[in-house]
Amino acid sequence: MTSKEPSTRNLLDSMIAGWKNSRMTRYGMFALLFVVLYVSLAPNLLPQRFDIQVGTVSDSDIIAPMQIPNNKTTLQAQEAAAEQVESVYAIVSMRRETVISQMLDRIESLNQDDQITNADKAQIYSEEIPQRAQNSIANFIRNNREAGKYSDKMLDEMQKTIGEQTYSIPEETFLKIPRLSTSEIQDMRQVATSIMSRLMSDQITDAQSARAKVAELVSTSSLSSRTAREVVQELVRATLTANKFYDEEATRAAKVEARENTPTVYIQQGEVLVPKGEKITQEMYTLLDENDLLKNDVNYWPQLGLVLFAFLITLGLYMYLRQSIHQGRTYNNAQLFMLIVIFAIGVICLHLVRILQMGNSPYFGFLVPAAIVVMLITLLLDIQLAYISSIIMSILASIILNMSQHELFDYQFGFFTLVVSFTAIQCIHRASQRSTILKAGIMSCFFGAIAVLTLVLLNDGEWTRISMMYAVGFACIGGLITTVLVLGLMPFFETTFGILSALKLVELSNPNHPLLRKLLIETPGTYHHSVMVGNLSEAAAEAIGADGLLCRVGSYYHDIGKTKRPGYFIENQNNIGNPHDSIDPKLSKSIIIAHARDGVEMQKEYKLPKPIRDIAEQHHGTTFLHYFYHKALKLAEEQEIEPDFTENDFRYPGPKAQTKEAAVVGIADSVEAAVRSLSKPTVEQVETMIEKIIKGRVDDNQFNECDLTMKELDVVARTLKEAVMGIFHSRIEYPEDIKKPDQKENKA
């Protein structure tokens, strides 16, 4: 049973590794991404079409697949708004006191002429005074028509109104005028112009109502002569005209403006257009036809356009991931599937907000947790991939949250998503604590609000103060929702996909973790060794572009299995004898190689992530235990028996290092132990020892199953040398120290 377990486990690991790196599976993942994009955009770019005819009965509820304008209801609302517009009147400024003053000048002049009889004068006045009043109006209209100050229709309306309201002076008044003296005429001038100016300062649409006030104003004037009062009264009435006239063109323009300002009436997405069992009317048929929702003509062009659109986005992401391989970044199929799941979550969030948006107002779109996708990708995958994903999500947001029937994209939501996403990436890409996610959410709120305010200022006049406040508020709420969702989804992705995020690694590096506490208390020597290996491996891993944090934390746990038999490992043998000196070398071998397996079992018990367990299991690979093998050979020789074992029996069971991180930890582990074994190491000894360790593992084919290159091994060797010198500075003798022993104490 025991012999079958490793083979079964290796087969299972091989199948999993094959799935993660299968090319066909990879293509299938991109096909799945294409489907996700197509399905998520289809409701917005390919609205549902109905196969109905006028007069038929609907066999199901016909529901609006999107927001569509109701042209008939909108037209009715526009006409109602136009009918509520009051008639527009124009105020025309006319100097009628000048006209009456000119009349009195003529009267004064003619009355002084003794050659003309009063009867003739009366006849002249009866002809000239009405004519002067009419001519003054005609001249005013002609001059303004030439100047273009008022429209022709307005001037025609003015001429018509004044003509209909003309006042006729009684004949007996003309008989009284010749008897007026010059002094009386002078008094009449002042009173007449004053009364005319006062009356014409009001807005007059009906001259007759204004003329009714003349008698009272004249009676309270300074004129004492009865004849003078009667003449002034009649002259003012004859000269007085309306000054407020109906403006047909202005009224028509006001009605047009009222129609234009009437908002379009929409049928919201999800509303029932025709209930089941109801007959299709011509009105409903026309509504669907106007919005291209009928299956009268089969049109496959939009479907083809959407296919090409989703294909181009998928192809762009594929090319980026392919190019990233040349830059040292690789993504397996499990990570690609996780990326698709993250995109799907982002799309679902967009559609949920779209539902709220349709039932309320466009600014509800800013409630979307826009940065959720890029935050998860930054934390779980890669920052460069997060930037590419932010562009894709901006495109999707501008389509899904677009409420315009005539535009494919709404740049406002695309811009908002891009700003929030870039902000979140910058705030979270060096996250070492989960509180960083909250800080990133707060910064997303702040910059999201700035983005919304920017859009409001650019669209001056289209936003009210209330809608602006709602939009900014929703942007802030969306940032907080993003934080909550990311914090909630992180454990799911870490557990389901075996992702070890930087946040999780930092948590595992806490010395208060039960396993690390156990390691420190029970095996302090191993604990110190693990910390040293962590420092060395982190520096080496970062030098070749591997995950330095994973190496450091993996190093902390890589020898946790030694806690089961701490006294059998040299770093824990303080002032006690070595128990291996008194036991069979085969038993010693079994105890030594068991620590890797025991460590994996202990880590499983505490549910440590698989990458950490892999380092513990693989850091020794299938290396050879030279010391115990030769000890066993010597013992067999002394007992003069034939050895019943081979070199393979004194090797670790493996597996060999599958990742760069496991390989680097294995090298650092050997280097730290080797340097610690030297009493007074020199620089030359350190260099030689590191090169020997790496060469030995290369010759033993320990790196054949990971993608560690010879060039990277040279970098690892150089980095480890520098790190060892920094850590063990006080113990390493430099060449000049050897030459000048008397200065050794000062050097240290």
* pLDDT of 583: 84
Residues 628 and 524 in one domain: yes
- Cα–Cα nearest to 92, from 207, 195, 253: 207
Residues 6 or more apart whose CB falls under 8 angstroms from that of 694 comprise: 667, 713, 716, 717
* pLDDT of 283: 79
Cβ contact 486:437 at 8 Å: yes
| pLDDT tier, 614 (very low <50, low <70, confident <90, very high otherwise) | very high
457: domain CATH number is: 1.10.1760.20
* pLDDT of 247: 85
pTM: 0.61
- pLDDT over 70 at 539, yes or no: yes
Residues 403 and 357 in one domain: yes
Average pLDDT score over residue span 329-353: 88
Residue of higher predicted confidence among 315 and 407: 315
Structural domain includes residue 256: no
- pLDDT over 50 at 514, yes or no: yes
| pLDDT tier, 741 (very low <50, low <70, confident <90, very high otherwise) | very low
- pLDDT over 70 at 5, yes or no: no
| pLDDT tier, 415 (very low <50, low <70, confident <90, very high otherwise) | very high
Cβ contact 692:667 at 8 Å: no
Which 3 state secondary structure label does DSSP give 295? coil
Residue of higher predicted confidence among 728 and 203: 203
DSSP state of 68: E
- pLDDT over 50 at 375, yes or no: yes
Residues 332 and 470 in one domain: yes
Residues 523 and 606 in one domain: yes
User: Domain ends where: 499, 518, 553?
Assistant: 499
Residues 131 and 226 in one domain: yes
User: Domain ends where: 228, 246, 264?
Assistant: 246
Structural domain includes residue 84: no
Residues 472 and 586 in one domain: no
Residues 316 and 452 in one domain: yes
- pLDDT over 90 at 393, yes or no: yes
Residues 510 and 490 in one domain: no
- Cα–Cα nearest to 204, from 151, 234, 162, 251: 162
User: Domain ends where: 482, 499, 516?
Assistant: 499
Cβ contact 444:362 at 8 Å: no
Average pLDDT score over residue span 717-741: 66
Residues 478 and 512 in one domain: no
- pLDDT over 70 at 461, yes or no: no
Q: In angstroms, rounded to a whole number, what is the distance separating the alpha carbons of residues 573 and 632?
A: 22
Structural domain includes residue 273: no
What percent of the chain is modeled with pLDDT above 90?
Answer: 22
- pLDDT over 50 at 601, yes or no: yes
Structural domain includes residue 406: yes
- pLDDT over 70 at 573, yes or no: yes
Residues 226 and 371 in one domain: no
- What are the percentages of helix, strand and coil residues in the chain, rounded to 5? 70, 5, 25
- Cα–Cα nearest to 523, from 469, 573, 449: 573
Structural domain includes residue 426: yes
* pLDDT of 332: 81
How high is the mean pLDDT of the chain?
83
Tell me how many domains the chain contains.
Answer: 3
Cβ contact 67:403 at 8 Å: yes
Residues 669 and 740 in one domain: yes
Burial readout 258-293 (b: 16 or more C-beta within 10 A, e: otherwise): bbeebeeebbebeeebbeeeeebeeebbebbeebeb
| pLDDT tier, 666 (very low <50, low <70, confident <90, very high otherwise) | very high
Question: Range of 532's domain?
Answer: 504-747
Structural domain includes residue 255: no
688: domain CATH number is: 1.10.3210
* pLDDT of 620: 92
pLDDT in tens, 50-69: 777 787 887 777 777 666 77
Give Cα separations from 449 to 152, 353, 355, 453 (angstroms).
Answer: 53, 17, 22, 6
- DSSP labels for 381-427? T-HHHHHHHHHHHHHHHHHHT---SS-S--HHHHHHHHHHHHHHHHH
Residues 540 and 464 in one domain: no
